[in-house]
Amino acid sequence: MKFFVDSADLEQIAYLNDIGLVDGVTTNPSIIAKSGRDFIEVIKEICAMVEGPVSAEVTATDADEMIKEGRILRAVADNVCVKLPLTMDGLKACKVLSSEGTKTNVTLCFSANQALLAAKAGASFISPFIGRLDDQGLDGMELIEEIRTIYDNYGFETEILAASIRNVGHIKDCALVGADVITSPPDVIAKLSQHVLTDKGLAAFLKDWEKTGQSIL
């Protein structure tokens, strides 16, 4: 499973990238707005840092305007992936941009029917929002399973990019049901390494080593 970082924080992205935990990055206007920096410049810097796809979202709602914005965004770097909303206009823009060879990420997916449409439109990625479904008392993981079954049934190449990740349990469950990609805040990815028994074991090892009075250095 690929790990995408859902962030525009260059320092956090670089930290995880150096460990080999960044296969791509997802952003949106809200995330970049928090940085107070120029949208295009932030995208350009992230693209230069990571090798994988970097999702940059359009802000238009009309198909023709989305296509125009998408073409501007894809010119920023070769690894830009244009992020589009799951509306009929967004699907139209997806079809056009995908046919031109641009990677596309169709976002704000909340049903298997929507995911089916995105695959038909040629999306590179579909982004089901599992955390937001959980917030409504629904089962976000069930949606991932449904999309996986549909895509496998018909051989769609669109990758399932599980979004709205809230905790490490979401990441584990996505891996179990076969999501191709997860996109997560940096702190949730870092928490995957944490376990109370690891901490206790390390503390015991260090205590025993200290008693020896030795040093490897």
Helix (H) / strand (E) element for 51: namely none
CATH number at 22 reads 3.20.20.70
Residue 200 lies in a domain: no
Residue 213 lies in a domain: no
Residue 30 lies in a domain: yes
Catalytic residues: 83
Q: Which residue range forms the structural domain that includes residue 62? A: 2-192
pTM for the whole structure: 0.94
Mean pLDDT of the chain: 96
With a cut of 90, say whether residue 35 has pLDDT above it: no
Number of domains present in the structure of the chain: 1
Residue 204 lies in a domain: no
Residue 215 lies in a domain: no
- Note the pLDDT of residue 63: 98
**Phi and psi at residue 159, to the nearest 5°:** -90, 140
With a cut of 90, say whether residue 36 has pLDDT above it: no
Q: Within 13 Å, how many C-alpha atoms sit on residue 151's CB side?
A: 27
- Note the pLDDT of residue 34: 82
Residue 161 lies in a domain: yes
Q: Which residue has the tokens 């891996």?
A: 175
| DSSP character string of 59-73 | ---SHHHHHHHHHHH
Cβ neighbours of residue 94 under 8 Å, at least 6 residues apart? Answer: 84, 104, 106, 118, 121, 122, 123
User: In 3D, which of 114, 195, 214 has the Cα closest to residue 160?
Assistant: 114
With a cut of 90, say whether residue 182 has pLDDT above it: yes
The C-alpha atoms of residue 93 and residue 70 are separated, in whole angstroms, by: 8
The C-alpha atoms of residue 203 and residue 122 are separated, in whole angstroms, by: 51
Local structure of residue 119 (DSSP, 8 states): H
Residue 54 lies in a domain: yes
What burial class does residue 145 get, using C-beta atoms within 10 Å of its C-beta: 0-12 exposed, 13-18 middle, 19+ buried? middle
- Note the pLDDT of residue 13: 97
The C-alpha atoms of residue 46 and residue 126 are separated, in whole angstroms, by: 21
